[in-house]
Amino acid sequence: MIFTFILNLVVTILSIIFSGLPKVTTLPTINGFDIDSTLLTGVGDLNTVFGTFWYLRDFFYGALVLLTYYGIKMLLKAVLGSRAPGLH
């Protein structure tokens, strides 16, 4: 009950703070470059290709996992430097 209350309290406070700010429905257009449409089209194209060439999607997800690993590793090195455990 206490944790639920704290959780609801935190969410309520955050909601009060941020609900007044504008809602983001699309990514902005910068210098005429519509980021939202470009991303939507690009991901849609990828989904079209991946829908047929399903193995590319599997490779893509594998690459994402590896990139995430290297991203976490870089973050740890940046924060902890040489004290980062197990990192060369």
Please state at what angle helix 54-80 crosses helix 35-52, rounded to 10 degrees. Answer: 130
Nearest to 63 by CA among 71, 75, 52, 74: 71
User: Residue numbers of the site for another protein (CB under 8 A)?
Assistant: 1-4, 7-8, 11-12, 14-15, 18-19, 21-28, 36, 39-41, 43-45, 47-49, 51-55, 58-59, 61-62, 65-66, 69, 73, 86, 88
User: What's the min distance (Å) between Cβ of 42 and another protein?
Assistant: 9
- Nearer residue to another protein within complex by CB, 69 or 75: 69
Strand, coil or helix: 53: coil
Q: For residues 35 and 29, is the Cβ–Cβ distance under 8 A?
A: yes
Question: Least CB distance from residue 78 to another protein, whole Å?
Answer: 17
